[in-house]
Structure 1
Amino acid sequence: MPPRRSYDQYCSAARALDVVGDRWTLLIVRELLAGPRRYTDLHADLPGVSTDVLASRLKDMERDGLTTRRRLPPPGAAYVYELTARGRELLPVLQALGAWGEPELGERRPTDAVRAHWFALPLLRALEGEGLVEVRLDEGRFHVHAGATDGPVYGDGPAPADPDAVLTLDTPTCVALSRGDLPLTEAIRDGRVEVTGDSPLAKQLREA
Structure 2
Amino acid sequence: MKLEKVTKRWYDDACGTALALEFVGERWSLLILRELMFGPRRFGEIRAQLAGISANILTQRLASLEAGGMLVRRTLPSPASVQVYELTPWGQEIEPVMQTMGRWATRSPLHDPTLPMSPASAMLSMRTMIDPVKAGALRMTIGFRVGGDRFLGRLADGVLGITRMEPAGADVVVEADPTPLVVWLYVKRPVAAMEADGVLRIVGDRAAAERFADLFALPPKIMPPAG
> Do they superpose with TM above 0.5?
yes
Conservation of the 8 A alpha-carbon contact between 2:39 and 2:86: yes
Comparing 30-39 with 98-107, greater Cα deviation is found at 98-107
**How has the CA–CA distance of structure 1 residues 94 and 35 changed in structure 2, closer, same or farther, with 3 Å as cutoff?**
same
Contact 2:145–2:175 (Cα < 8 Å) also in 1: yes
Highest Rg: 1 or 2?
2
The residue matched to 1:145 in structure 2 has which SS?
A: strand
Q: CA RMSD in A?
A: 3.8
Query: Hey, what's the Cα distance between the residues in 2 that align with 1:207 and 1:107?
Result: 17
1-structure distance, mates of 2:89, 2:17? 19
Residue 101 of structure 1 corresponds to which residue in structure 2?
A: 105
Aligned pairs for 1:1-208 within 5 A = 1=1, 2=5, 4=7, 5-102=9-106, 103=108, 104-106=110-112, 108=114, 113-127=116-130, 128=135, 132-135=141-144, 142-146=150-154, 153-155=162-164, 159-167=166-174, 171-172=179-180, 174-175=182-183, 177=185, 196-197=204-205, 205=212
Q: Is the 8 A contact 1:35 1:82 kept in 2?
A: yes
Q: Distance in 2 between matches of 1:23 and 1:67?
A: 17
1:195/1:206 contact within 8 Å kept = no
- Consecutive unaligned residues of structure 2, counting only runs of 5 or more, are 216-227
Distance 1:19 1:87 in 2: 11
Contact 2:145–2:174, Cα closer than 8 Å, also in 1: yes
- For 1:130 and 1:61, locate their aligned partners in 2 and report how far apart those are by CA, in whole Å: 36
Listed one character per residue, the Cα deviations across residues 9-60 of structure 1 (whole Å, up to 9, x for unaligned) are 1111111111111111110011001201111111111121111110111111
Give the structure-2-normalised TM-score: 0.66
Aligned residues: 191
Task: Identify the range of structure 1 (55-64 vs 163-172) with the bigger mean alpha-carbon deviation.
Answer: 163-172
Q: CA deviation at 1:70?
A: 0.5
The sequence identity of aligned pairs, in percent, is 33
Q: Which amino acid aligns with 1:124?
A: R
